[in-house]
Amino acid sequence: MADFLLIHGAWHGAWCWKKLVPELQKAGHQVRIPNLPGHGGDPTDPASIHLATYAGHVVELLDAGDAPVILLGHSMGGMVITQAAEYRPDRIQALVYLTAFLPENGQSLLAIEERNPKASVPPNLVPDAAGITAIINADQIMNLFYHDCSEADIAFATRQLTPQPLAPLAEPVSLSDNNFGSIPRVYIECTEDRAICLEQQRVMHQATPCDRVFSLATSHSPFFSAPRELTGILAEIAG
């Protein structure tokens, strides 16, 4: 059985995995679900958070484990696991991108979005007065993230969302073939995603080829709308 380390995306926290974790545990896997700095109640000052802050936190978790993990990133979490993998390739069994940003060397999340023909999140960012964090236009949260989720899950998630520090979104990854490039990669497409459209997902995993690509007919949040189907894919990856 595998040891999974699940890294959430922007605005989210460890709470987003609440339906997935029991399914993975029932299948016999170990699961860790940290909050990134500044998310899910973590008190880190948003003004001090950078992509390196996120990646450094993941590196600490990797170093604290007993064995290499399957490191999964959702959405922005793909940027985080990519940079962390560059620092600790020996601590990672495989990288899994769940409808996530998969950057090339030197790319930032915002640079990827600039090439997105159907960019939907950037036009709905609402920055704070200081330009340090941003929230999502409240009228678009359900449409972008949760359109196939239950009303209860939508209400729960909407209450948990926190402002997203902007600096990590503009900062590029620095990668090498010897480190990041040496780790097996898997991409899980979400074909009905309205936050990262399917076309953009495919541009990314074709530019940085993955060993396997799976598809789920879900929104941006399969951990809410299809936790059993997602568990099945992750169990296959672990196997």
pLDDT value for 201: 97
pLDDT value for 117: 83
The model carries a pTM of 0.98
> Looking at the 3D structure of the chain, how many domains does it have?
1
Read off the pLDDT of each residue in 204-216 and give the average, rounded to a whole number: 98
Tell me the per-residue pLDDT of 44-76, one tens digit each, with 9 for 90 and over.
999 999 999 999 999 999 999 889 999 999 999
List, as one string, the DSSP characters of 117-171.
TT--SGGGEEE-TTSSEEEE-GGGHHHHH-TTS-HHHHHHHHHH--PEESHHHHP
Report yes or no: 58 and 51 within 8 Å, Cβ to Cβ: no
pLDDT value for 65: 85
With 90 as the cut, is the pLDDT of residue 140 above it? yes
Range of the domain at 149: 3-238
Question: Model confidence at 131, in pLDDT bands (50, 70, 90)?
Answer: very high
Question: Model confidence at 83, in pLDDT bands (50, 70, 90)?
Answer: very high
Read off the pLDDT of each residue in 202-215 and give the average, rounded to a whole number: 98
With 90 as the cut, is the pLDDT of residue 211 above it? yes
128: how many CB neighbours lie within 10 A of its CB? 12
Distance (Å, whole) CA 185 – CA 159: 33
- Helix ranges restricted to H, 77-126: 77-87, 109-114
pLDDT value for 223: 98
Residue 232, C-beta contacts closer than 8 angstroms, at least 6 positions apart: none
Mean of all residue pLDDT scores within the chain: 97
The phi, psi pair for 75, rounded to 5°, reads 55, -120
- CATH assignment at residue 105: 3.40.50.1820
pLDDT value for 112: 97
Read off the pLDDT of each residue in 115-129 and give the average, rounded to a whole number: 94
pLDDT value for 1: 87
Question: Model confidence at 99, in pLDDT bands (50, 70, 90)?
Answer: very high
Read off the pLDDT of each residue in 80-96 and give the average, rounded to a whole number: 98
